[in-house]
Structure 1
Amino acid sequence: MARRTRNRSEIIARRFVSRQQPTRMQPFVERWRWIIQGHVQGVGFRASCSRRALDMGLKGWVRNLQDGSVEVQAEGPPIALAELRAWCEKGPLGAQVQRVKPCQLPVRGDDWFEVRY
């Protein structure tokens, strides 16, 4: 009598065509840093920027700098980042943005968007 060398489940599994789940493509993610100069402190810029970034699904942070400007670092899809930059060029009511200095950074994989102090 012949000995079975394989599991019965392996034999059955080979009888059927198995389809692997398609691998999900990771969305293209970038990280940008913007220095927003002008009259941008004391007008609610950080809170407004944080709300806007969260609405767009971006990750990162925003904070005031000693020289009176605001620094924003955000990562996410390029389209959402472009929208946030366009918003930063105007800012909330009361802000007078003079210049936005961009700088691209390596992606860090942040989990949320926050206001830093």
Structure 2
Amino acid sequence: MQHSQQLPKIIRAHLFISGRVQGVGYRYATVDTASQLGLTGWVRNLPDYRVEAVFEGAQEVVEEMIRWCHSGPPAAVVQEIVTEYEKPEGLRGFEVT
């Protein structure tokens, strides 16, 4: 790693995703995509039919993941995403909870 570069800024994004996002493989596609990008965090279904997700990683990568969430897997229909930025917890791995 080059010493002249500063470390990427690590951020945490907490998303609430609305639309047709349960029963369409959204959580598993999210795990695959986040893992490929090297992000940590988790994703779960909520009782009100939304999906909740947390992503931690380099800012540019988290922003790329949020863009992916707006379309999701082919069967999903995403209507709205509410994103809150929080203090990173230093999560390990990415899982469905």
- CA distance in structure 2 between the aligned counterparts of 1:95 and 1:59, rounded to whole angstroms: 22
CA RMSD of the aligned region, Å? 1.5
> Where does residue 79 of structure 1 map in the other structure?
60
CA deviation map 1:2-55 (0-9, x unaligned): xxxxxxxxxxxxxxxxxxxx6x95431000001000010000000000000000
The alignment's TM-score, normalised by the length of structure 2, stands at 0.92
The alignment's TM-score, normalised by the length of structure 1, stands at 0.77
Q: CA deviation at 1:112?
A: 0.6
> Where does residue 39 of structure 2 map in the other structure?
58
- CA distance in structure 2 between the aligned counterparts of 1:26 and 1:112, rounded to whole angstroms: 20
Q: Which amino acid is 2:60 matched to? A: I
Q: Which has the larger radius of gyration?
A: 1
Q: Tell me, what secondary structure is at the counterpart of 2:27?
A: helix
- CA distance in structure 1 between the aligned counterparts of 2:58 and 2:42, rounded to whole angstroms: 16
Q: How many aligned residue pairs are there?
A: 95
Is the Cα contact below 8 Å between 2:8 and 2:59 reproduced in 1? no
Structure scoring higher RCO (CA < 8 A, sep ≥ 6) equals 2
1:96 is the counterpart of 2:69: no
Gaps of 5+ in 1: 1-21
Q: Which amino acid is 2:82 matched to? A: K
- CA distance in structure 2 between the aligned counterparts of 1:110 and 1:25, rounded to whole angstroms: 21
Identity %: 38
